[in-house]
Amino acid sequence: MSEHATYASRSTHAFEGETAGIVTRSVACVADGLVVLVILVAMWAGWSAVRFLTHPVNFTLPSPSWLLVLTTGGLVTFLYCTVFWSTSGRTYGDQLLGLRVVGGDRNRLHWSRSALRAAFCVVFPAGLFWAVVSPQNRSVQDVLLRTVVTYDWRPQAEPGPRSE
């Protein structure tokens, strides 16, 4: 709590450092989903370009199966979240809504913990809605992995040790 107090005293707004609610986190997830969708479309376009270059005569647009789309989407989401949570602590959706994913000690997550949380989010996205009834606005993933999503409008994360 002392670190939290210290952090709160440095923040511009009084609510910064508090755990974020379901609305902001849901909007952030939607924004991240759009980002993943854009990535998937880009991959599909690249795949199409490669196919056109390799088979220009018999070229047809690729039509991947839903399984492939979901698998690829899940994999992209996993990588996307792992990389951003372990580096800046925030994905693009978190950046947009002013959120940051940190450990219980308010430090940046280790990449392994970020990977676990990302995998959990991909496999069980509905765990987010536990934040509605949780007194501390914590999702299932937060409870199991002892992470916290806080309001943080600062451009960069507070320097410090990574939370294992």
For other proteins, the binding residues (CB under 8 A) are: 15, 20-24, 27, 96-98, 132-133, 135-137, 151, 153
Please identify, using beta-carbon distances, which residue of 82 and 137 lies nearer to other proteins: 137
The nearest distance, CB 115 to other proteins, in angstroms, is 27
The nearest distance, CB 137 to other proteins, in angstroms, is 7
Burial (Cβ within 10 Å: 0-12, 13-18, ≥19) of residue 33: middle
The nearest distance, CB 26 to other proteins, in angstroms, is 9
Please identify, using beta-carbon distances, which residue of 24 and 82 lies nearer to other proteins: 24
Please identify, using beta-carbon distances, which residue of 44 and 129 lies nearer to other proteins: 129
The nearest distance, CB 92 to other proteins, in angstroms, is 12
